């Protein structure tokens, strides 16, 4: 999945990010909605959509959506 589609689907599937101004390079920490529930939803969304298993630590290690996309691509091979 390319970056543009990854961003669009993330915003659509993870609560609180629609109309948030999220970009691939904006830190998750800039968004108050980026909390433990958002991490869990992200893990489930990546597993379902990309068929990649990530841990909570994997997701927390990513500071931006671009880093998360790179990690998913790396794991997918």
**What average pLDDT does range 17-22 have in this prediction?**
93
Can you list the positions of beta strands (E) in 1-77? Answer: none
Q: What is the pLDDT of residue 46?
A: 97
Residue-number span of the structural domain to which 16 is assigned: 3-76
69 contacts: CB under 8 Å, gap ≥ 6: 3, 6, 7, 24
Please report which confidence band the pLDDT of residue 77 belongs to, taking 50, 70 and 90 as the band edges.
Answer: confident
CATH of the domain at 26: 1.10.1200.10
- How far is 66 from 76, CA to CA, in rounded Å? 15
How many structural domains is the chain composed of? Answer: 1
Q: What is the pLDDT of residue 27?
A: 97
- How far is 48 from 21, CA to CA, in rounded Å? 24
pTM of the model: 0.93
Q: What is the pLDDT of residues 24-75, one digit of tens each?
A: 999 999 999 999 999 999 999 999 999 999 999 999 999 999 999 999 999 9
Among candidate residues 67, 65, 69, 34, the one with its CA nearest the CA of residue 49: 69
């Amino acid at each position: 999945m390319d970056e543009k589609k990854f961003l669009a689907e993330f915003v659509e599937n993870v609560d609180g990010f629609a109309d948030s101004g999220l970009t691939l390079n904006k830190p998750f920490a800039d968004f108050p909605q980026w909390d433990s529930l958002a991490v869990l939803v992200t893990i489930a969304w990546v597993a379902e959509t990309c068929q990649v298993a990530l841990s909570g630590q994997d997701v927390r290690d990513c500071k931006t959506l671009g880093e998360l996309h790179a990690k998913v691509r790396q794991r997918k091979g």
